[in-house]
Amino acid sequence: MVKSLPPRSEVKVEETWNLQDLFKSEDDYNQAIEQLQQNVASYVEQFKGKISDVDSIIAALKGYASIYKKMVPIGAYTSLSSSEDQTNDEAQMRASKYGSIASKLGSQLSFVSSELSELPAELLEKAMGQSKDFELYLKEVLREKPYQLHPEVEKTLAAMSSVLNAPYGLYNTTKLVDIRFDDFEVDGEKFPLSYTSFEGGWESEADTSKRRAAYDAFYAKLRQYQHTAAKTYDMHLQKEKTISDLRGYDTVFDYLLFNQEVDRSMYDRQIDLIMKELSPHMRKYAKLLQKVHGLDKMTFSDLKIPLDPNYEPKITIEESKKYIKDSLSIMGDDYLTMVERSYDERWTDFAQNIGKSTGAFCSSPYGVHPYILISWTGSMEDVFVLAHELGHAGHFYNAHKHQNIFNSRPSLYFIEAPSTMNEMLMANHLLSNSDDPKFKRWVISSIVARTYYHNFVTHLLEAAYQRKVYERIDAGGSVNANVLNELKRGVLEEFWGDDVEITEGAELTWMRQPHYYMGLYPYTYSAGLTISTQVSKRILAEGKPAVEDWLKVLQAGGTKSPAELAQMAGVDITTEQPLLDTISYIGDLIDQLIELTEEIETVQTN
C-alpha cells in the first residue's frame, strides 16, 4: 500500500543528509557569502586589466581557483537545501537570493576568461608549460577563443545568468510545488498518488488494475500543466539557440557538444544504433512481460512491471549496506571506506517527503564530500539506484583527491560510466552467488528492467526525442505542448512498434524529466553504460588489473577526453563495436530470461 508523503519536518533525521558538513549554521553560510563578496572585490582590484604575462596569468588563476573553492560549498548548500523540500519558503528564497548574488559575482569575474582569451596563443601556451595545475584550464581557453564574445557582452551574459537559468527553476516549481495529485480509485477503494509514489511504486505495481488506474490519474494531472511546461521548455531552448548563434557555432548541437569534447557523429551513432538495433530485443522483453503476467495487451503503462514481483525482497536502508559493500568490495579498501563513510556520516538523503526532488542524484562539492539524494521505498531497485549514485560519489571522491578544482570534472559524455559500472558490479556479484533459476531470473531481470531499461531505453528515447526538438529549434522553429507530444509519441511508436500500445498519456513523458534543462545529457547514460558494460566484463575476466586501470580512470578526473579515458580502461569508443557488443549483451540477457522462465514454468507444471 502506497502511503501519502509526510512533510519534511516529520521524517527521521537519520534518514536525511547532514548539510552541516557544508555549513554548521545559517550564520556561517551568510558569513561565507559576505566573505566571498569581499574576496571577489579584492581579486578584481588586484587583477582586472593586469593579466598580461606568464607570471600574472598564473597568479590570477591561483587567486581564481581560491575563489572558486569558496563558491562551491555555498552553491551546494543552496541547491541541496532547496532540493530536499521545494515547498520550504526559506530555502527557496535563499536560493533566489544567492542566484542573484552569484550572477553579480560571475559578472565581476568574467574579465578573467575575457582577458586570457585576448592574449596571444603563444603566451597562453608558455604559461601552460610553466604550470601543470592550470594547463587544462588554459587549454580550454584556447579551445573557446573562437567563440568568445566582447568582454562587455560576456560580462552582461554572466550578470543575466540567474535570469537565463530561470526556466529550470520554473520547471521544478511547477512540478514539485504546484502539481498536486488527487487520490485515484479502484473497485471503490482510494489510493494516494504523488510523483514519488508513482515513479517509486505505482508504475511497477503488479496489480494491473491499480497500475493502469494510477497511470491514467498521473498523466491526466500532468495534462493540466502541459502548456505551462511546454512554454517553460521553449524559453530554455530559445535561450540556448540564441547563445549558440551569438557565439558563432554552426548549430545548437555543436554548441551543446563543445564542452563534452565529443563530435556530432558519436552523438548521432549512440541514438541511431540503439533505436535500430536494441528495439527488437526490448520488444521481445515486452512480450515476455505480457506472457508472464497474462496481460490482455501490452501497453506503455505495463513496461515497468517486475518480471517476478513475488520474488522481489523488501530491503531496509541498513540491509542495503551489506549488498553494496559486498558488491563493490572488488574496488578495494579505499573505495569501501568511502561507502562506509557515506552511511556513517549521513551523506545520503533517503527520506520520502512532500516537495522533495524526484529521482536520484549525486552532488560532489569540491573540498567537502559527495551528497546523494534518493527516495527510499525498500525495493531492490533502490539498492541499484544507490549503487549507481555511489558510483558518481566514488568517481569524484577519487578525482578530487588527485586533481585540482579545475581538473577534477570530466566531460558529460563520460559522467555516467562510473555510476553504471557500480550497477554492473552489483549484478555480477549477485549472479555469482546462486544457481537457483528463480534467483538468477530475478537478478537478470533487475539488470534489464533497472540498469539497461533505465539507461538504454528511458534515457535513450529521451535523447531521440530531444534530437528532434533541437533540429526544429536549429531550423528557427519553436515548440508548444502539441508539438512536443507529437514528437514524443512518434519516438515511442518507432521504438516499440506494434508490440506495445502507446496509451494516451505516454506522449506527456517529456514533462517528467529535468534532463532537458541540462543540455545534451540524456544520450550520455547509454554512452556511459556502453563503457561500463565493457569494463565490467574485463573486471570479471581479469580481476585486480582491470580494477586498477579503472581506479586510475576515476582519479584522472577531467584531465583526458572521453575517448582517452575509455582507452585507459581498454575500450575504444571511437568505433561502433563497444555499443554493438553491449546491445548484443542485452539481447543475451533477455534470451536468458526467456530460457529461465521456461525452465521455471516446466518445474511448476511437473
Domain ranges of the chain: 8-163, 180-224, 311-446+527-605
pLDDT at 177 over 90: no
Q: In 3-state terms, what secondary structure has residue 423?
A: helix
Average pLDDT over residues 144-161: 91
Q: What is the C-alpha to C-alpha distance for residues 587 and 424, in angstroms, rounded to an integer?
A: 16
CATH of domain 8-163: 1.20.140.70
Q: In 3-state terms, what secondary structure has residue 255?
A: helix
Q: What is the C-alpha to C-alpha distance for residues 27 and 38, in angstroms, rounded to an integer?
A: 17
pLDDT at 22 over 90: yes
pLDDT given for residue 604 in this prediction: 74
Q: What is the C-alpha to C-alpha distance for residues 468 and 385, in angstroms, rounded to an integer?
A: 29
- Is the pTM for the entire model greater than 0.75? yes
pLDDT at 2 over 70: no
Residue listed under C-alpha cell 531481470: 445
- For the chain, the average pLDDT equals 93
Please tell me the least confidently modeled range out of 44-48, 91-95, 396-400.
91-95
Contacts of 346 (CB under 8 A, 6+ apart): 14, 16, 17, 18
From the list 179, 169, 257, the residue with the least C-alpha distance to 218 is: 179
pLDDT at 1 over 70: no
Contact 520, 256 (CB under 8 A): yes
What are the Cα distances from residue 189, in Å, to 183, 210, 399, 557? 10, 10, 52, 52
pLDDT at 214 over 60: yes
pLDDT given for residue 500 in this prediction: 97
pLDDT at 601 over 70: yes
* Helix spans in 48-88 (H): 54-83
Cell output for 137: 584550464
Q: In 3-state terms, what secondary structure has residue 384?
A: helix
Question: Which of the 8 DSSP states describes residue 454?
Answer: I
Average pLDDT over residues 221-241: 96
Cell output for 140: 580550454
Average pLDDT over residues 57-77: 96
Element (H, E) at 597: helix 577-605
Average pLDDT over residues 542-566: 95
Contact 233, 487 (CB under 8 A): no
Average pLDDT over residues 450-464: 90
Element (H, E) at 102: helix 89-109
Q: Which CATH number fits domain 311-446+527-605: 3.30.70.100, 3.40.50.300, 1.10.8.50, 1.10.1370.30?
A: 1.10.1370.30
Question: Which of the 8 DSSP states describes residue 170?
Answer: H
From the list 323, 326, 324, 330, the residue with the least C-alpha distance to 543 is: 330
Cell output for 279: 528495439
Contact 505, 218 (CB under 8 A): yes
pLDDT at 248 over 50: yes
Q: What is the C-alpha to C-alpha distance for residues 376 and 192, in angstroms, rounded to an integer?
A: 17
pLDDT band at 606 (very low <50, low <70, confident <90, very high): low
pLDDT at 3 over 70: no
Cell output for 604: 511448476
Q: In 3-state terms, what secondary structure has residue 188?
A: coil
pLDDT at 309 over 50: yes
| Intra-chain end-to-end CA distance of the chain, in Å | 34
Average pLDDT over residues 49-67: 95
Q: What is the C-alpha to C-alpha distance for residues 522 and 461, in angstroms, rounded to an integer?
A: 8
pLDDT at 104 over 70: yes
Average pLDDT over residues 407-425: 92
pLDDT at 513 over 90: no
pLDDT at 387 over 90: yes
Cell output for 283: 520488444
Average pLDDT over residues 215-227: 96
pLDDT band at 603 (very low <50, low <70, confident <90, very high): confident
Residue listed under C-alpha cell 551569438: 246
Between strands 361-363 and 371-373, the pairing is antiparallel
**8-163 and 180-224 share one CATH topology?**
no
Average pLDDT over residues 424-437: 87
pLDDT at 312 over 80: no
Q: Looking at domain 180-224, does it have CATH number 1.10.287?
A: yes
What are the Cα distances from residue 318, in Å, to 106, 332, 422, 499, 539? 42, 21, 19, 40, 27
pLDDT at 381 over 90: no
Contact 450, 476 (CB under 8 A): no
Element (H, E) at 122: helix 121-130
Contacts of 428 (CB under 8 A, 6+ apart): 327, 536, 539, 540
Residue 530 CB neighbours (<10 A)? 29
- What secondary structure does DSSP assign to 484-510, as a single string? HHHHHHHHHHHHHGGGSB--TTGGGGG
For 161-172, the pLDDT digits (tens) are 888 999 998 998
For 290-302, the pLDDT digits (tens) are 999 999 999 999 9
